[in-house]
């Protein structure tokens, strides 16, 4: 009986459970260099196992192999987070002690939870669609934003934060997870968009509407302008701005930004220098018809913000975060409201562009959609 590809990919990813349990009881796992060697060996062997298992019906998309290997690491990350929070034991102690000790931080745990759930689900979904020769462009772009921002903040925080003097060889295992997604993103962006057929007349009518004639877009513009101000303000706070308002905010609402692990500060600086320009561009895209780049970049941005806000909120509230850096109880609800709105807004914007793209379609995009329709 031939096992469907998505099924054996799922089964292969679960092999992380017995493998981590076994390695945890090997004496060599106490040596930092040995941990790096074991990690590389496991990933290489896993890659060849995937190639062997897929030999009878090799996928046309090379990203199938990368997503399969990454799904294995997602299970490892979920094990790490569950073990650090006390739900299980005896699997990844060796790796936390001698491999990547910063994963025991609240931020490290939250990033592992996200990778072990959201990224894992995305990998399995994309592998399934590849095996069925179906498109996955939207999911791929969402994943791209999520993993790139998570890895950038994670790696930078490890280097500049309090764990910068405790970097072990296993840190190098993270490098492929920064560069391979860049390659994967280029491959995903080359795939054709799946657009519901629209006539030129329908697009013209939609693009003639002013913002007040598009209620959802008007609300999104209000959100974007508010998010721009909030991003700029928190960037100043992260840069230790001496203004009284910044001083009051960091101590009354987000003392987590002062945590010496540096992840939250790096994240706010990434927001300031990268998210802020995108927010401004999205305002332009909602006002100027035909900005077809909105269809892709809103998805990338939504994935990035969803991941980063999940880890930021979780790290701010986690019981292992030192009390002085946790959100005060009296400002808990304002903190949650502001950060949840900041997380949800980009998701609504991406859905709006995905479900009703007429305002953003350019003549070239319409011609591309017509050609795809003819080929079908």
Q: Does pLDDT of 38 surpass 90?
A: yes
Binned at pLDDT 50, 70 and 90, residue 372 comes out as low
Mark residue 321 as left, alpha or beta (left: phi above 0; alpha: psi -120 to 50; beta: remaining). Answer: beta
Residue 183 exposure: Cα atoms within 13 Å on the Cβ side? 10
Burial code of 81-120, b = ≥16 C-beta within 10 A, e = fewer?
A: bbbbeeeeeebbbbbbebbbbbbebbbbbbbbbbbbebbb
Nearest to 271 by CA among 299, 294, 240, 237: 237
Phi, psi of 285 (to 5 degrees): -65, -30
Q: Does pLDDT of 17 surpass 60?
A: yes
Higher-confidence residue: 119 or 193? 119
> Quick one: average pLDDT of 85-98?
93
Tokens 């996928």 label which residue? Answer: 59
Is residue 286 a contact partner of residue 206, using CB atoms and an 8 Å limit? no
Is residue 5 a contact partner of residue 57, using CB atoms and an 8 Å limit? yes
Q: Which pLDDT value is given to residue 135?
A: 92
Our CA dihedral for 151, 157, 159, 164, rounded to 10 degrees, sits at -130
DSSP states along 69-124: HHHHHHHHHHHHHHHHTTS--SSSHHHHHHT-GGGGSHHHHHHHHHIIIIIHHHHH
pTM beyond 0.75, yes or no? yes
Nearest to 46 by CA among 81, 83, 8: 8
| Distance of alpha carbon 105 from alpha carbon 318, whole angstroms | 10
Tens of pLDDT along 255-275? Answer: 999 999 999 999 999 999 999
Tokens 């094990």 label which residue? Answer: 79
| Distance of alpha carbon 216 from alpha carbon 222, whole angstroms | 10
Q: Does pLDDT of 369 surpass 60?
A: no
Cβ-Cβ contacts under 8 Å for 364 (sequence gap 6 or more) = 292
Vertex 104: Cα angle to 66 and 84 (nearest 5): 90
Q: Does pLDDT of 376 surpass 50?
A: no
Q: Which of 25-39, 162-176, 268-282 comes out lowest in average pLDDT?
A: 25-39
Cβ-Cβ contacts under 8 Å for 27 (sequence gap 6 or more) = none
Averaged pLDDT of the chain: 93
Q: Is 135 helix (H, G, I), strand (E, B) or coil?
A: coil
Cβ-Cβ contacts under 8 Å for 160 (sequence gap 6 or more) = 262, 266
| Distance of alpha carbon 255 from alpha carbon 335, whole angstroms | 11
Q: How far apart are the first and last CA of the chain?
A: 33
Integer CA distances (angstroms), 56 to 13, 52, 208, 261, in order: 20, 8, 53, 48
- Structural tokens at position 59: 């996928």
Q: Which pLDDT value is given to residue 2?
A: 78
> Quick one: average pLDDT of 312-339?
96
Q: Does pLDDT of 310 surpass 80?
A: yes
């Amino acid at each position: 009986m031939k096992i469907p590809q998505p099924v054996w990919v799922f089964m292969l990813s679960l092999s992380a459970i017995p493998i981590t349990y076994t390695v945890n009881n090997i004496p060599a796992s106490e040596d930092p260099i040995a941990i790096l060697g074991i990690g590389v060996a496991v990933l290489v062997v896993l890659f060849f196992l995937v190639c062997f298992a897929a030999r009878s019906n090799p996928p046309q998309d090379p990203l199938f192999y990368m997503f399969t290997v990454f799904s294995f690491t997602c299970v490892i990350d979920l094990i790490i987070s569950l073990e650090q929070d006390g739900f299980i034991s005896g699997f990844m102690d060796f790796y936390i002690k001698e491999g990547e000790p910063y994963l025991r931080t609240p931020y490290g745990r939250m990033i592992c939870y996200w990778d072990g759930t959201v990224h894992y689900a995305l990998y399995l979904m994309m592998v399934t669609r590849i095996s069925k020769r179906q498109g996955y462009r939207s999911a791929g772009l969402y994943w791209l934003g999520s993993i790139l921002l998570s890895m950038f903040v994670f790696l930078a925080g490890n280097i500049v934060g309090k764990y910068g003097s405790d970097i072990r060889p296993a840190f190098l295992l993270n490098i492929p997870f920064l560069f391979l997604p860049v390659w994967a993103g280029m491959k995903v962006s080359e795939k054709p968009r799946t657009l519901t057929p629209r006539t030129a007349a329908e697009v013209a009518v939609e693009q003639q509407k002013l913002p007040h004639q598009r209620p959802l877009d008007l609300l999104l513009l209000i959100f974007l302008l508010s998010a721009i101000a909030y991003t700029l303000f928190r960037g100043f706070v992260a840069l230790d701005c001496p203004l009284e308002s910044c001083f009051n905010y960091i101590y009354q609402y987000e003392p987590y930004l002062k945590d010496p692990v540096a992840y939250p500060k790096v994240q706010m600086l990434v927001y300031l220098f990268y998210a802020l320009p995108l927010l401004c561009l999205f305002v332009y895209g909602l006002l100027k018809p035909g900005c077809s780049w909105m269809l892709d970049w809103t998805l990338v941005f939504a994935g990035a913000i969803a991941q980063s806000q999940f880890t930021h909120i979780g790290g701010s509230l986690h019981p292992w975060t030192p009390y002085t850096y946790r959100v005060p109880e009296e400002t808990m609800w304002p903190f949650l409201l502001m950060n949840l709105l900041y997380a949800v807004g980009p998701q609504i914007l991406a859905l709006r562009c995905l479900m009703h793209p007429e305002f953003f379609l350019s003549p070239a995009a319409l011609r591309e959609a017509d050609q795809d329709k003819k080929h079908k």
